[in-house]
Structure 1
Amino acid sequence: MKNTLIFVTVIIFFAIIFFISDIEGFENLDNSISIKNVKNISEKEFKNIKSNRQESVYDLVNMKYKNNELPHDSKKDAYYIPNYNKEYNFNLFYNKSTTIKSISNNEKNLIKIIAYNKNKYKVYNISLTNMPIINIELEDKNNKNELISDDYTYGKINIFDNKTKQNKINILNESAKLKIRGLSSSQYDKKSYSIQFINSNSGKEKFINDLLGMDRNSKFILNSLYEDSSKIRDKLSWDTWKHISQNKDNTIKMEYVELFINDQYYGIYGLSEMPNEYKLKAQQDSSIIYKIKNDKILPELKDLSLDDLKKYGERSVNIIYPKSFSNDTLQPLKELSKLIYHTTNEQFEASIIDYISIDNCVDYFILLECAYHIDGLGNNNIFTYDIKSKKFTRTPWDLDLTWGAYPVWVKDGDVMKELLPDEKIELSKQLLYKNGNMTKTTTYLEQRLWQNNVGNFRQKVAKRWKELRSGFLETESFVNYANSLYDEVTESGAREREHERWPDGGYSTDNSFIEKFIRQRLPYLDSQFLQYLDDSGEN
C-alpha cells in the first residue's frame, strides 16, 4: 500500500510539472535560433497571425547575446543591442510550440518580430544602436525616485562593447559600486555617476583593462551630457586636447554609451576615464594631484589650512593623491598660488619657469582659447605636482561649457540654480584670457604668461598653433570631425531617444551653431596668435 501511494504521488507530481510547463508563462524555452535565421513575413501575414490569437502578457521568447540578456526598457517594452560594422546578431530562446517571424518595417535601426503559438502572440521591438550599451542591475531596488544616490549603491554592470573588437560585441560583466557625482550638474534631473569596479567576493577595488579602449583603472565616470544641446561638446573638447597635448599621459578618453538601470532607459552618457593617480601615472611618493573646484580659493590659498578648506565643503581644493595627506601636502600648491596671485611681474617672471612645464602651459592655453573653455580659467583645474622636478602640469576638466556655451544662473530663494546654458556666437571673436573677470578671478596662470611673454610664451603659442592648424585643427577637417560626432549621436537613434527620455534637457536638430562657431573661432585665433611668429627664433 505504501509503495502504491509513493508511485501515485510521483505520477501526480510529474503530471503537474508537465501541465505547468504547458501553461502560459511557464513554458520551457529550451530551443534557440539566431535572429539571422528568422524568416521574414509581410505586414498582411502579421495581421493574420494576430487576428486569430490573443496577445500574451508573458514572454514567449528570451533574447540573449552570448548568454547575456539584451538590455530592456520596461517603460517602452523595447530591447536594445549594439551593431558592429553595421552587422548584428543575437539568439532567441523559445518553446517548441512557439513560432518566430520577423516583420517587415521601414525603420533601418529597428527589428520587429512576432512570437506566437496556437492561442497567443507577442510582438518584440529591438532597436539597433551604433553605441556601446551599459546595463546596470542594482542590488537595492526599493528606491524608485533616484536609483543611485550620493552614497554608494552596489550592483552588477553588463557592458556591450562594439568598439574594441572586430566583427563582434565584447561582453564585460563586473560588480561595482556607483554614486552621483558633480556639483551644479547634480541639480539636473539626469545625473552623472562615478563607477568603482570591485571584486564581487572581497569588495576591494578591481582594475579593468581596455574598457572601450581606455587605460587600466578601477574608476570611471558616466557624464550625463544633459545640459549640452549638441551632445558633442565634452567629447569634441577631449579629442581636441588629445591632439593638442604634447604630454600623452594627461589626455582623457571619452566614449559615447547608452545607459540602462534596472530595466529603465537613461539615455546618452559619456563614459570617460577618471583623472586619478592611475590615469595620470602618478608615481608613489613622488607626485601630488590637486583638483581645484573653486576659483575663489586659489588667490586665498596661501593663508589657508586643510581645516580651512573643509569649510568650503565640496567646492574646495581636493587632494586626489596621495590618499593620506597633511598640511605639508598642500604646501606646493600654496607656493604656486602665491606666485600667481601675489607677486609683481618681475617676481613672477623670475620664478614661474621653475614651477611649471612651459610646453604644458602652452597646450593648456591653446585649449582654453580654441574651445573658449570658460570653466577652465581658475575653476575645474587638475594640477599634478612632481616632487622630484618640483614642477606642475595641468590637466583640463569639466569641458561642457565650451564652443560657445555660456552659463546661466538664476536665484531661487537663497539658492543659485544653474539653468541650461545659452549659446553665444559672439564669444567666437573674443579672447578668453581678457575675460577672466567672468569667473571673478583677477588673473590666472596662462594669462600672466601671455601678458608678460614669459620665456617667449607668445612665440611658443604661435608656433604650436601653426602646427595644429596644418593638422587636426585645419578648418574643414575639424568642422567635418565635429559634424561626424554630431551625426554619430543622431544616426544611432540615441539623440531622439534621449530627448524623449529627458525632454527638458539640451536638444538640437543640427550642428549649425558649433560649425559656425568653429569657422569663426579658428581664423580669429590665427589673427591673434600668428602675428608673433616672427618675433623670435621660436618659429
Structure 2
Amino acid sequence: MSETNGATITANLGIEVRGGNSQNYPKKSYELSFWADTLGASNRDVKLLGMRNDNKWNLQALYNEPLRANSKVANELWQEMSQLYYKDKEPDAKNGIAMSYVELFVNKEYKGIYSLTERIDKKQLKLKKYTTSIKGELYKGSDWGGAVTFTALPPIDNTSLIWGGFEYKHPEEYTDWTNLYDFVSFVETSSDAEFLKQYPSKFNLKNAVDYYIFMNVLRATDNYGKNLYIAKYNAGEPYFYVPWDLDGVFGNDWMGRNDNTTDDIVTNGFYKRLNQDCSAAGFRGVLARRWAELRTTLLTPDHIMAKFVANNAYLQANSAYQREQAVWPSFSYDNTQLTYVSNWLTKRLAYLDGAFSQRCTVLSATPGKAGPAVRLYPNPATNYLVIEANAATYDVCIQDVSGRVALKTTAHTSVSRLDISQLPKGLYLVLVKGENFVMTEKLVRD
C-alpha cells in the first residue's frame, strides 16, 4: 500500500471475497487479514490511513453507488450524529466505521475505486469480553428473517451461529442466543403496559431515536433488519443499533438505481411499538425534540450535500471516475446525480418534517403485530409467493435485477397468493407498500 505522503506498507494477506448478493457483481469486495507470516498462523496489526490499528480490514467495491459516495457520506453523517452512551468509560469506542478512498490493483491489474474501511466488531465497540459468562454481545442482521425485523419468533438452537436472520458475532468463545431471544420475545409478545414500562431498560432510547432518524433520512430500505448490528456493551446494559452496509441510500436502491420515493417511513416491528409511546419522556417525545435539534445543525440539505460535493470533487480532481469507467464499462459517470440527490434530499427532509411532528396517538395493537408487519414465503419460491400483511389493502411490485417490472398488483386481503410460475428463474426485488408502511425484500425464483 502506497499513501500520498510516500509511506508504504508491504504485508502478507489472507484475502476473502465478502458480501451477500454483492458477490455476484463483477467488481468484488474483499476482507483482508494481515499476517505476520506467510501461512496465516499469526496475525499482524497495521494502522492504515489514520484509522484504527488492526489485523482485519474491508475493501468495499462501491459497485452499485452511482457517485461512489453513498456509503461514505452516510457513515460520515452517522459518526456526527451518534455517540455511544458509554463513551466516557470507553473513549476509543466508535459506533460505526471510518472509510477512506483507495485505488486497487490485483496481480498488477487495475480494479478501480474502492473504500478501505474499518470493521464492526467487539474491538470497534469496546464490548466487554467473555469470562465465565456472557457480558458484551454482538449480532449481525445478515438475512431477512423474522427475528431481525421483530415479526416472528423462531426457536433458538445454540449449536447454530444463525437465528432468525441474525448471525452470532460475540462472544466467539460461547454461543447462547437466550438473551437476544428474550429481547425479541419481549418486543413481540409483551403487553402494551409491560412494553412501555420496560423497554427503556432493554434498549438505549437515544440510540433507538438516532437510528430511526438516520434510517429514514437515508431511506435505508435495506437496513431496518438486515444490514445492521445489534450490540450490548456489558451484562445488564441495554442493546443498541450499529449501522452497516449503507449503499442503497439517498434516493438509490440496493441495486444502485434511482428510486425517487420520498413519502414513506422505513420501520420494523420494534419501531412500530416504540411509536406508540406518547409520553413526554418516551420515544415520540424524544424523537420530536431530537429531530428539531438535528434539523438546525446536521440534517440540512446544505450540510449533507457538502459531503457529496467534497467526495465528488476529490474523485474528479484525481481523475478516478475516468479510470473507473475505463475498467468497468457498466459504470458511466453522470454529472446530474448530484442534482438528483440534492432534489431528493430536500423533498425527503420536508416529508419527514411533517411525519415526525404529527400528533402522537396511541393505537390498539396486538402484541407482536404492532403496525403493518409483512411476511413473504416461501423464499426461494417456484410457483407461488404468499404475502401476509396487517393491512387490508397494499400494492405489490416485483422487479428483476435490471429494474424491469415483472409483476404488479394491488392486494385487497391481508393474505394474498401470487402466481409467479411464469417468471424466469433468478433474483428479484419485491416491494410491498401500504398506506403507512413500505417493505422491500429480495426473492429468489428457482
Common topology (TM > 0.5): yes
User: How far does residue 531 in structure 1 lie from its aligned partner after superposition?
Assistant: 5.5
Equivalent of residue 270 in structure 2, options 445, 450, 466:
445
Q: How does 1:100-499 map to 2 (within 5 A)?
A: 159-162=1-4, 168-200=5-37, 203-209=41-47, 211-247=48-84, 249-285=94-130, 286-298=135-147, 299-307=151-159, 316-326=165-175, 329-407=176-254, 420-425=255-260, 427-433=261-267, 443-453=268-278, 455-499=281-325
Q: Give CA deviations for 1:481-513 in whole Å, capped at 9, x if unaligned.
A: 222222222222111211221112474333221
Separation in structure 2 between the aligned mates of residue 185 and residue 279 of structure 1, nearest angstrom = 24
Helix, strand or coil for the counterpart of 2:351? helix
User: How far does residue 309 in structure 1 lie from its aligned partner after superposition?
Assistant: 5.9
Equivalent of residue 523 in structure 1, options 328, 350, 360:
350
User: How far does residue 349 in structure 1 lie from its aligned partner after superposition?
Assistant: 1.6
Helix, strand or coil for the counterpart of 2:298? coil
Separation in structure 2 between the aligned mates of residue 505 and residue 296 of structure 1, nearest angstrom = 33
Helix, strand or coil for the counterpart of 1:179? strand
User: How far does residue 474 in structure 1 lie from its aligned partner after superposition?
Assistant: 2.6
Separation in structure 1 between the aligned mates of residue 272 and residue 3 of structure 2, nearest angstrom = 42
Larger helix fraction of residues: 1
Q: Give CA deviations for 1:119-148 in whole Å, capped at 9, x if unaligned.
A: xxxxxxxxxxxxxxxxxxxxxxxxxxxxxx
TM-score by length of 1: 0.60
* Bigger Rg, which one: 1
Q: Is the Cα–Cα contact under 8 Å of residues 378 and 444 in structure 1 kept in the other structure?
A: no
Identity of aligned residues (%): 25
User: How far does residue 189 in structure 1 lie from its aligned partner after superposition?
Assistant: 0.6
User: How far does residue 171 in structure 1 lie from its aligned partner after superposition?
Assistant: 1.9
Q: Is the Cα–Cα contact under 8 Å of residues 246 and 363 in structure 1 kept in the other structure?
A: no
User: Cα 1:531–1:353, aligned 2, differ >3 Å: closer, same or farther?
Assistant: same
Helix, strand or coil for the counterpart of 1:402? coil
Separation in structure 1 between the aligned mates of residue 7 and residue 351 of structure 2, nearest angstrom = 44
Q: How many residues align?
A: 342
Separation in structure 2 between the aligned mates of residue 192 and residue 236 of structure 1, nearest angstrom = 18
Name the amino acid aligned to 2:282: N
Separation in structure 2 between the aligned mates of residue 353 and residue 506 of structure 1, nearest angstrom = 47
Q: Is the Cα–Cα contact under 8 Å of residues 194 and 220 in structure 1 kept in the other structure?
A: yes
User: How far does residue 358 in structure 1 lie from its aligned partner after superposition?
Assistant: 0.6
User: Cα 1:227–1:293, aligned 2, differ >3 Å: closer, same or farther?
Assistant: same
Q: Is the Cα–Cα contact under 8 Å of residues 209 and 283 in structure 2 kept in the other structure?
A: yes
Q: Give CA deviations for 1:276-335 in whole Å, capped at 9, x if unaligned.
A: 11111112122111111123241444512144665x8xx942222221223xx2111101
Q: Is the Cα–Cα contact under 8 Å of residues 127 and 234 in structure 2 kept in the other structure?
A: no
More displaced stretch, 276-285 vs 262-271: 276-285
Equivalent of residue 508 in structure 1, options 315, 334, 341:
334
User: How far does residue 185 in structure 1 lie from its aligned partner after superposition?
Assistant: 0.5
Q: Is the Cα–Cα contact under 8 Å of residues 95 and 242 in structure 2 kept in the other structure?
A: yes
User: How far does residue 336 in structure 1 lie from its aligned partner after superposition?
Assistant: 1.3
User: How far does residue 191 in structure 1 lie from its aligned partner after superposition?
Assistant: 0.7
Q: Is the Cα–Cα contact under 8 Å of residues 380 and 396 in structure 1 kept in the other structure?
A: yes
User: Cα 1:325–1:453, aligned 2, differ >3 Å: closer, same or farther?
Assistant: farther
User: How far does residue 388 in structure 1 lie from its aligned partner after superposition?
Assistant: 2.6
Helix, strand or coil for the counterpart of 2:11? strand
Helix, strand or coil for the counterpart of 1:348? helix
User: How far does residue 359 in structure 1 lie from its aligned partner after superposition?
Assistant: 0.8
Separation in structure 2 between the aligned mates of residue 218 and residue 450 of structure 1, nearest angstrom = 41
Q: Is the Cα–Cα contact under 8 Å of residues 128 and 234 in structure 2 kept in the other structure?
A: no
User: How far does residue 353 in structure 1 lie from its aligned partner after superposition?
Assistant: 1.5
Name the amino acid aligned to 2:325: H
User: Cα 1:297–1:529, aligned 2, differ >3 Å: closer, same or farther?
Assistant: closer
User: Cα 1:204–1:459, aligned 2, differ >3 Å: closer, same or farther?
Assistant: same
Q: Give CA deviations for 1:446-501 in whole Å, capped at 9, x if unaligned.
A: 33212334652122122222222222223223222222222222222111211221
User: How far does residue 275 in structure 1 lie from its aligned partner after superposition?
Assistant: 0.5
RMSD (Å), alpha carbons: 2.3
Q: Give CA deviations for 1:11-51 in whole Å, capped at 9, x if unaligned.
A: xxxxxxxxxxxxxxxxxxxxxxxxxxxxxxxxxxxxxxxxx
Q: Give CA deviations for 1:330-379 in whole Å, capped at 9, x if unaligned.
A: 11110111122233333322321221111111111111011111111111
Q: Is the Cα–Cα contact under 8 Å of residues 227 and 421 in structure 1 kept in the other structure?
A: yes
User: Cα 1:297–1:205, aligned 2, differ >3 Å: closer, same or farther?
Assistant: farther
Q: Unaligned 5+ residue runs, structure 2?
A: 85-92, 361-446
Separation in structure 1 between the aligned mates of residue 357 and residue 7 of structure 2, nearest angstrom = 46
Q: Is the Cα–Cα contact under 8 Å of residues 277 and 284 in structure 2 kept in the other structure?
A: no
Q: Unaligned 5+ residue runs, structure 1?
A: 1-158, 163-167, 408-419, 434-442, 534-539
Separation in structure 2 between the aligned mates of residue 216 and residue 309 of structure 1, nearest angstrom = 27
User: Cα 1:200–1:403, aligned 2, differ >3 Å: closer, same or farther?
Assistant: same
User: How far does residue 428 in structure 1 lie from its aligned partner after superposition?
Assistant: 2.0
Q: Is the Cα–Cα contact under 8 Å of residues 230 and 507 in structure 1 kept in the other structure?
A: yes
Separation in structure 2 between the aligned mates of residue 235 and residue 384 of structure 1, nearest angstrom = 22
User: Cα 1:348–1:302, aligned 2, differ >3 Å: closer, same or farther?
Assistant: farther
Helix, strand or coil for the counterpart of 1:430? coil
